Amino acid sequence: MAGTEQLLLNILIIVLSILIYFSLGPQYKYKKAVAVLLPGTAMLLCMTFPFNVLGGYKYDLRVIPLLLGILYGGYASGILLSTVMIGYRYYLGGPGFILTLYSFPPVILLAFALLRRFDQMQSKTRYLVGSGLALLWAFICTLISFFGSKGVPVTQENILFYVAFCFLHALAMWMCMYLMETLRENEQMKVEIQRTEKLNALSHLAASIAHEVRNPLTVVRGFMQLLKEKKTDESEQRYIRLMIDELDRAEEIIHNFLTLAKPQNEDVKCFDAAVEVRHVVSVASAYASLRNVEIQLDLGAPLMIKGNPAKFSQVLLNIIKNGIEAMPKGGTLQIIGLQEENSAIIDVIDMGVGMTQQEVNRLGTPFFSSKSEGTGLGLLTSFRIVQMMNGTIKVTSKKGKGTHFSIRIPMAS
Ligand code: ADP
Ligand code: MG
């Protein structure tokens, strides 16, 4: 075929743009801008080097970066890319502009309609959706080419070209999505490993220091108690009480640390997470009403998971407490428990101050706290406990809007 070189060039351009995007790493500052720029450039380059021209219609792989940009980049990037593509096709001129005008809108609109659900889909379903969209576009193109006003002649050679054209689009889209999902998974794994390493380093430190500090503290507290009983002076009594309170606070911090340091769950059993959620909510409700926060609880069937119920409660309490504290002016804290595939999911959603992406990335770093009274250990401990239960905690947050903590733990079978 005459345009094989251009076709390969199209594929190379697209693959290269994907590789460049992922080589920037997860922490790259301008990732959002690059996520539009790269598919945009790939699309324009593909359009500049079409692999076949029939009846004035130019054929290239532009729909692939466009669809990738929409499906993975979202509405804003999708609208921008679509506008640029149509604008550039107009600039290139020729009768093919009409083809673009008729064939793209239905596919782009369909992609937008599927966008909301795309994030929750499994990767296999995603491949199907992506390839399906690319195939649909190629098919519409074929129909317009044969039956449109320009009327490409129905010869055996042309039919063969369009069959290959449709097949090629589905295949190329599938391939690109596979590459993207694999690279994305790798990237997430890398972030996860870094986080785990951080936790491990900390737990070793905790194990060695916490224990040593705890013993003298206990001794001091004991003598304080004795002193308190002996002294009758009112103000001295008050001082000693203050000292004991502060010692208890230190003890609590150390307790949190030791939870981190012990990698194994001592008392592992099967239990119903929904029961624990109800229990923790009842414990936290007084604290919530004190801060004008209403807790909305939505639990369905029992959620049997394996682990230490006391530690699981600690995780819930930490996250629920954070949610309440994130709403200084009051509000509603939503807690939802449900089963999804083979996992128990507990969602804790607040309408509070929210966090920027940078702050979300820092969650679970020791002593990261925005509160004057905060220890910055709550989430660190929580991440660790959930990790020990083979689960994950996903955080999505919007500054000024609120935060969504999603705990996912595999069901006990
Ligand atoms: P602490 O609550 O003692 O500050 P945590 O580890 O529980 O420590 O939380 C660390 C920090 O993460 C908090 O200080 C806060 O800045 C942020 N954070 C946690 N949960 C939320 C939330 N639901 N909304 C907004 N910020 C939060
Ligand atoms: Mg906290």
State the Cα–Cα distance between residues 397 and 385, nearest whole angstrom: 22
Rounded CA separation 161/260 (Å): 62
Q: What are phi and psi of 336, to 5 degrees?
A: -125, 130
Question: Over the chain, what is the mean pLDDT?
Answer: 88
Task: Report which protein residue has its CA nearest ligand 1's atom 3.
Answer: 374
| Cα–ligand 1 centroid distance for 322 (angstroms) | 5
What does residue 309 show for φ and ψ, rounded to 5 degrees?
-60, -35
CA 140, 145, 150, 155 dihedral sign is negative
| Distance from residue 120's CA to the centre of ligand 2 (Å) | 28
**Closest by Cα among 339, 322, 341 to 274:** 339
Predicted confidence (pLDDT) per residue in 273-308, tens digit: 999 999 889 888 888 998 999 999 999 889 999 998
Q: What is the pLDDT of residue 12?
A: 95
Q: Where are the domains of the chain?
A: 4-193, 205-261, 269-410
322, 369, 371: residue to mutate for ligand 1 pocket, most atoms within 8 A of CB = 322
Ligand 1 atom closest to Cα of residue 350: 23
Report the Cα 202 to chain-centroid distance in Å: 25
In this prediction, residue 198 has a pLDDT band, given cuts at 50, 70 and 90, of confident
Single-letter amino acid code for the residue at 361: N
- Nearest residue (by CA) to ligand 1, atom 8, is 376
Name the closest-CA residue to atom 13, ligand 1. Answer: 369
Measure 324 CA to ligand 1 centroid, in angstroms. 10
Q: Please name the residue whose Cα sits nearest to atom 19 of ligand 1.
A: 322
**For residues 104 and 47, what is the distance between their CA atoms, to the nearest angstrom?**
14
pLDDT confidence tier of residue 195, bands split at 50, 70 and 90 = confident
Closest atom, ligand 1, to C-alpha of 376: 8
Rounded to 5°, angle at Cα 285 from 284 and 289? 125
Second-level CATH architecture of 269-410: 2-Layer Sandwich (3.30)
Query: Who lines ligand 1 at CB under 6 A?
Result: 318, 322-323, 326, 350, 352-355, 363, 368-371, 374-380, 403
Query: What pLDDT is stored for residue 76 in this prediction?
Result: 92
Residue 163: how many CB atoms within 10 A of its CB? 12
Measured CA distances, 77 to 46, 61, 65, 119, 211 (Å): 18, 18, 11, 16, 53
Nearest protein Cα to ligand 1, atom 2:
374
Q: Atom 11 of ligand 1 has which residue's CA nearest to it? A: 369
Ligand nearest to the CA of 368: 1
Q: 370 alpha carbon to ligand 1 midpoint, in Å?
A: 7
Ligand 2 centre distance from Cα of residue 115 (Å): 34
Counting beta carbons within 10 angstroms of the beta carbon of residue 84, is it exposed (0 to 12), middle (13 to 18) or buried (19 or more)?
middle
Q: Assess contact for 242 and 188: CB atoms under 8 A.
A: no
Two tokens at 77? 């990037």
Which residue's CA lies nearest to atom 7 of ligand 1? Answer: 378
The pLDDT of 97-123, averaged and rounded, is: 89
Is the sign of the CA dihedral 142, 146, 149, 151 positive or negative?
positive
Identify the burial level of 133 via C-beta atoms within 10 angstroms of its C-beta, where 0-12 means exposed, 13-18 middle and 19 or more buried: buried
Measured from the alpha carbon of residue 364, the closest ligand is: 1
Residue 94's pLDDT band (cuts 50, 70, 90):
confident
The residue whose CB lies within 8 Å of the most ligand 1 atoms, and thus the one to mutate among 202, 359, 369, is 369
Residue 409 has pLDDT above 60, yes or no: yes
Q: Which ligand is closest to the CA of 323, given by its number?
A: 1
Ligand 2 centre distance from Cα of residue 288 (Å) = 14
CA of 378 to the centre of ligand 2 (A): 5
CA distance 32 to 38: 10
Q: How far is the CA of 321 from the centre of ligand 1 (A)?
A: 9
> Among 330, 333, 353, which residue's Cα sits nearest to residue 281?
333
Per residue in 342-375, pLDDT (tens digit) is 999 999 999 999 999 889 988 988 778 888 777 7
Residue having the nearest C-alpha atom to atom 14 of ligand 1: 369
User: Among 56, 57, 44, 50, which Cα is nearest to 17's?
Assistant: 44
Ligand number, closest to the Cα atom of 373? 1
- Distance (angstroms) between ligand 1 centre and the Cα of 147 equals 61
pLDDT digits (tens, 9 = 90+) for 166-185: 999 999 999 999 999 999 88
Name the pTM for this structure.
0.57
Each residue of 6-33: pLDDT tens digit? Answer: 899 999 999 999 999 999 988 888 888 9
Q: What is the pLDDT of residue 130?
A: 94
Torsion-angle region of 364 (φ positive above 0: left; ψ -120 to 50: alpha; else: beta): left
Split at pLDDT 50, 70, 90, the class of 122 is: confident
CA 391 / ligand 2 centre spacing (Å): 20
